[in-house]
Structure 1
Amino acid sequence: MKDILSEIIANKRCEVAFQKQTISLEQLQETLGDLTPTRSMKKALTHSESGIIAEFKRRSPSKGWIREEALPEVIVPAYATAGAAALSILTDEKFFGGSLRDIRTARPLVDLPIIRKEFIIDTYQLYQARLIGADAVLLIAAALSPEQCNELTAQAHALGMEVLLELHSSEELSYISKETDMIGINNRNLGSFHTDIENSFRLAELLPKESIWVSESGISSPETVIRLREAGFKGFLIGETFMRKHEPGEMLHQFIHSIENS
């Protein structure tokens, strides 16, 4: 079976190398200046009644275009109005149809935490995230060594951002450290892109109880969110379920209403 993650990471290395040639890391560092304080995604999930991290996502490597014409300035504020606890915005262009501009556009329009959803392999991408207004970043265990993950986590913290550490299997539990802000369980295998929501329930029994857990991918019903919450999850990252609808914000509103009345 084709390993999609390996293909994405190989492309990402080339992409970051090209970006560094255009604007060096030193130039990025010089432009940091006086940045506004970041918002805590961890606190937002802890205190939110919905716990939903609504995702802005145009396409998927396995399913193609979901909503090619989607505009962050329309959908992201609608998510915020509908009651999202936090926001996830894809910035990978080749495989997900996103860009750094999507976060830069959305940031002034909402006051919710925004996570840069990306395949981060280099410190350079952390500086990019901070400059465009991200409050948190995703680090994927399957794409990094434990040492790389620790280094990137420390640098993200130094820049004032939180980290959502994404795991998919019990073999990756060793990536968790006392510095981990949030633990994400991806129900989608990043090699094959096969989705199994039960993955969250299997791994929940092995996660540190004091951590903030986020279930990612494959969540399409309020009933699933209720089950996950009962299992100990505080966050629920949902994108495609909303993005396929004509009005993603309205769909999120109905989704939350269903949870509250179940």
Structure 2
Amino acid sequence: MMSPFIDALLGARRPLVMEVKRRDPHGNDLMGGRTVAEVVAHYEAAGAACVSVVTGRWFGGTPELLREVADRTGKPLLQKDFITRRDHIQQARKSGAAAVLLTAGLLTRSSLANLIDAALSLELTPFVEITAESEIAGITAADQCVIAVNNKDIKTGERDTGDLSRSERMLPFLRAAGTRAPVSASGIDTPETAARLVDLGYRGLLVGTALLRAPSVADWLDSFDSARKTAASSV
């Protein structure tokens, strides 16, 4: 199956999934008075590979937010929410998503397999988020999925600062599972950290809070590019 979401990541100069999120895990505002249209325009100008849209209400999201972003961009969209039923996936497709978040740690293996199948049947990319090696075994059709390491603890509502060493440890297991698009997600705070993860071998990064809090998205990405060039020249 073709995957516009995966293809966009693999073909991007900057393999970043840039996130639209109204609040951080502590309830603090991330929009800074900007409209959704303004945030999306900044991401478009920055050459985002894909855009993540947090529709979960604990981050201030709503289902309507996905439709609003879909109206503003042709970039492949990830709906980031706790998706647990087939009708959630059907609604995501109707609202303009190209990929849906499936959180392995919150689903039984049979439920995860059923939801992966449901997403693929609707030509959506399963974006399967894991925090432990044991969760990989439940991922069916891994070659058609994004497998993403969440560097934060979902059991505490992602209120921790993140454990980036988790991404370092998990990458070989993601590759062995067969995914074309291993992704590191959450807790990526600086351009230098982002560059290091790409240099390590991640084909995509999901970055939200750091970009939304950056005084300039363009400057953050220039620093990311510079850090990648430095890493490449040191090899």
Q: What residue is the counterpart of 1:112 in the other structure?
A: 75
- Alpha carbons of structure 1 residues 157 and 120: separation in structure 2 relative to 1, 3 Å: same
Consecutive unaligned residues in structure 1, runs of 5 or more:
1-37
Q: How far apart are 1:156 and its partner, in Å?
A: 1.0
Which residue, out of 97, 114, 120, partners 1:134?
A: 97
Structure 1 residue 89 corresponds to structure 2 residue 89: no
Cα distance in structure 2, aligned partners of 1:68 and 1:122: 33
Q: Deviations over 1:165-212 (max 9, x none)?
A: 100012212122224411000000111333111110011122234421
Check the 8 A contact 2:14/2:47 in 1, yes or no. Answer: yes
Structure 1 residue 65 corresponds to structure 2 residue 29: yes
Structure 1 residue 174 corresponds to structure 2 residue 141: no
The amino acid across from 2:125 in the alignment is E
Q: Deviations over 1:48-77 (max 9, x none)?
A: 121110001111333533336442211112
- Alpha carbons of structure 1 residues 224 and 124: separation in structure 2 relative to 1, 3 Å: same
Check the 8 A contact 2:185/2:205 in 1, yes or no. Answer: yes
SS in 1 for 2:97: coil
Q: CA RMSD in A?
A: 2.0
Q: What residue is the counterpart of 1:43 in the other structure?
A: 7
Cα distance in structure 1, aligned partners of 2:139 and 2:118: 16
Q: How does 1:15-34 map to 2 (within 5 A)?
A: none
Q: What residue is the counterpart of 2:152 in the other structure?
A: 188
Check the 8 A contact 2:119/2:125 in 1, yes or no. Answer: yes
Q: How far apart are 1:119 and its partner, in Å?
A: 0.6
Consecutive unaligned residues in structure 2, runs of 5 or more:
231-235
Which residue, out of 186, 189, 203, partners 1:217?
A: 186
TM-score, length of structure 2 as denominator length: 0.87
Check the 8 A contact 1:107/1:133 in 2, yes or no. Answer: yes
Which residue, out of 219, 222, 227, partners 1:254?
A: 222
Check the 8 A contact 2:3/2:123 in 1, yes or no. Answer: no
Cα distance in structure 1, aligned partners of 2:166 and 2:98: 27
Identity of aligned residues (%): 28
The amino acid across from 2:73 in the alignment is V
Which residue, out of 170, 174, 177, partners 1:207?
A: 174
Check the 8 A contact 2:27/2:59 in 1, yes or no. Answer: no
Structure 1 residue 74 corresponds to structure 2 residue 38: yes
Q: What residue is the counterpart of 1:235 in the other structure?
A: 204
Cα distance in structure 2, aligned partners of 1:255 and 1:137: 30
Structure 1 residue 52 corresponds to structure 2 residue 16: yes
Structure 1 residue 160 corresponds to structure 2 residue 127: no
Q: How far apart are 1:231 and its partner, in Å?
A: 2.3
Check the 8 A contact 1:58/1:68 in 2, yes or no. Answer: no
